[in-house]
């Protein structure tokens, strides 16, 4: 659509219509919720019903942010529209949330009330993570808000990466209380303010590198490019301090995905990150290089030398065999599931170490179908967002999809997108990522027909669109 010599995009037109509607909703509470997901450290400890747990800032943020938005008629009106919509991955998150509530009752049937408090706390958090996309779609309705939140997500990842990097160098201590460090003492990983389990940091660094490359390609400022490049290099290096195999497995999906979207120029930043990490480890001193070598020996070399290739995956396959035996012994769990966070009752382990099997075991075949449907529709929604004729939106969607390709592989060896206690807010962070990347397709679609009619008539006047963004 032309405005004299100025071209108005669909995204700009939608921003204009949104401002004119007098229904503008602040994204600040949503930003606060996102920030809270990056601070998993306990605020204090409490004991109730024979169980010990911690107060966490994101628990309070979830309650107050959801309360704030759900008391806003404009938000609830939009959420009602979303609940009735079929094309979006949100539909399957809604069904998944309902199944989790039902599965709590099934877990009570199989195991009684012995673990009810931790189960309810985890369900509260996980369902909130699943519902985050509803808030994102309902609240983020113009490009400026969208970019603020998407960029904030990257810099939060870069921030925890920077803290963990300094921890890996020995300049900062581990922030977690002693009782948590004892529980995860075998990891001894720099995790900043994320979960004490190294996988949380590994997945977030993987995602940060992916969306960081897209960020690097879409900005024009040289200084900003340099800052993003340094942040990506740091995030690429941090998981090496923990020797996390999950992180490396994720890149098996990331690299082909980058080539598939035809972004050959992205290979250069990745090559530079690899080279930069090698140079850093070579000249960082014995204390740093020896730590990385030690972790690699513990988690890869020693296992390979002792058991061959089987040593790299044996700890997982033992659990997978236990799952097979549990299904053989109690085939009815394929229908009912074990109940939410009740897999221990049947296999003697807290997790399946496989996101797909975890969904199958806890929610049965129906829950597995819903979980896979969510992933399939998310994949399609991201691909559809590729086609949006806006460079920023399209690039963000492309590199979110690249990150998703890596995430899907990590799900084969752990519960990346689930309610496991060890992963804390990881599912919530990924929910923000996925919903932000796809949300432009939703709010652009609302005004697309009107925009096309006006575009053909060239009837939008410049004075009414001065503040179009």
Please give the full DSSP string across 250-300, using - where no structure is assigned. Answer: HHHHHHHHHHHTT-GGGHHHHHHHHHHHHHHHHHS-HHHHHHHHHHHIIII
Residue 184 region, left (φ>0) first, then alpha (ψ -120 to 50), else beta? alpha
354 falls within a domain: yes
Structural domain containing residue 193: 23-281+317-447
Which residues, in sequence order, are bridge partners of residue 45?
Answer: 54
Q: Return d(Cα 257, Cα 402) in angstroms, integer.
A: 5
459 falls within a domain: no
Average pLDDT over residues 220-225: 94
The answer for residues whose C-beta is within 8 angstroms of residue 453's C-beta and 6 or more apart is none
pLDDT of residue 8: 62
Average pLDDT over residues 420-432: 93
Contact 235, 192 (CB under 8 A): no
Residue 290 pLDDT level (bands cut at 50, 70, 90): low
Question: What secondary structure letter does DSSP report for 81?
Answer: H
Interval 50-92: pLDDT, tens:
777 788 999 999 999 999 999 999 999 989 988 888 788 999 9
Average pLDDT over residues 156-161: 97
Radius of gyration of the chain (CA): 23
Q: How many CB atoms lie within 10 A of CB 469?
A: 17
177 falls within a domain: yes
220 falls within a domain: yes
Higher pLDDT, 22 or 259: 259
C-alpha distances out from residue 368 to 23, 45, 292, 378, Å: 38, 35, 38, 15
pLDDT of residue 111: 92
pLDDT of residue 46: 77
Contact 191, 241 (CB under 8 A): no
Which residues, in sequence order, are bridge partners of residue 2?
Answer: 7
219 falls within a domain: yes
94 falls within a domain: yes
pLDDT of residue 264: 65
Residue 468 pLDDT level (bands cut at 50, 70, 90): very low
Average pLDDT over residues 394-398: 95
287 falls within a domain: no
Q: Which helix (H) or strand (E) holds 53?
A: strand 51-55
Number of domains in the chain: 1
Residue 362 pLDDT level (bands cut at 50, 70, 90): very high
Of 33-47, 213-227, 295-309, 325-339, the poorest mean pLDDT is in 295-309
The crossing angle, in degrees rounded to 10, of helices 198-218 and 426-445 is: 30
Look at residue 21 and give its three-state secondary structure.
coil
- The label of the residue with tokens 């979006």 reads 88
Contact 104, 119 (CB under 8 A): yes
- Encoded tokens for 284: 């960082």
Average pLDDT of the chain is 84
Please say if the pLDDT value at position 297 is more than 80: no
Q: Best-predicted range by mean pLDDT among 84-88, 272-276, 327-331?
A: 327-331
90 falls within a domain: yes
- The label of the residue with tokens 């070598």 reads 293
């Amino acid at each position: 659509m032309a405005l004299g010599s100025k071209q108005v995009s669909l995204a700009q037109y939608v921003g204009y219509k949104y401002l004119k509607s007098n229904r503008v909703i602040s994204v600040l509470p949503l930003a606060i919720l996102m920030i809270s997901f990056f601070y998993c450290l306990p605020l204090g400890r409490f004991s109730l019903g024979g169980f010990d747990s911690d107060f966490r800032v994101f628990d309070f943020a979830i309650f107050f942010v959801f309360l704030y938005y759900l008391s806003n008629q404009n938000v609830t009106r939009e959420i009602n529209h979303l609940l009735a919509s079929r094309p979006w991955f949100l539909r399957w998150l809604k069904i998944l949330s309902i199944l989790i509530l039902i599965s709590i009752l099934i877990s009570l049937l199989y195991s009684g009330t012995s673990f009810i408090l931790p189960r309810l706390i985890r369900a509260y958090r996980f369902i909130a993570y699943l519902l985050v996309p509803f808030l994102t779609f309902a609240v983020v309705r113009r490009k400026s808000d969208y970019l603020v939140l998407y960029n904030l997500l990257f810099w939060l990842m870069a921030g925890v990466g920077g803290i963990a990097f300094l921890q890996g160098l020995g300049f900062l201590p581990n922030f977690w209380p002693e009782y948590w460090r004892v529980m995860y003492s075998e990891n001894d990983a720099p995790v900043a303010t994320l979960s004490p389990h190294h996988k949380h940091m590994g997945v977030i660094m993987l995602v940060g590198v992916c969306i960081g490359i897209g960020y690097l390609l879409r900005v024009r400022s040289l200084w900003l490019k340099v800052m993003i490049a340094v942040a990506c290099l740091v995030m690429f290096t941090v998981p090496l301090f923990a020797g996390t195999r999950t992180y490396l497995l994720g890149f098996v999906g990331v690299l082909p995905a980058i080539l598939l979207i035809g972004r050959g120029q992205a290979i250069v930043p990745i090559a530079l990150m690899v080279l930069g990490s090698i140079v850093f480890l070579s000249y960082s001193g014995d204390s740093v290089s020896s730590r990385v070598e030690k972790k690699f020996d513990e988690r890869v070399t020693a296992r390979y030398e002792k058991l061959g290739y089987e040593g790299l995956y044996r700890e997982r396959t033992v659990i997978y065999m236990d799952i097979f035996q549990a299904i053989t012994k109690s085939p009815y769990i394929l229908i009912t599931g074990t109940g939410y966070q009740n897999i221990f009752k049947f296999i003697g382990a807290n997790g399946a170490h496989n996101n797909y099997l975890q969904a199958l075991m806890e929610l049965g075949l129906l829950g597995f179908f819903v979980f896979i449907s969510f992933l399939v529709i998310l994949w399609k929604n991201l691909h559809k967002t590729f086609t949006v004729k806006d460079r920023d939106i399209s690039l963000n969607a492309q590199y979110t999809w690249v990150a998703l390709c890596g995430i899907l592989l990590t799900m084969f060896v752990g519960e990346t997108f689930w309610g496991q206690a060890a992963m804390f807010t990881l599912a919530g962070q990924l929910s923000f990522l996925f919903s932000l990347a796809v949300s432009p397709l939703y709010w652009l679609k609302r005004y697309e027909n009107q925009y096309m009619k006006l575009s053909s008539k060239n009837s939008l006047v410049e004075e009414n669109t001065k503040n179009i963004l």
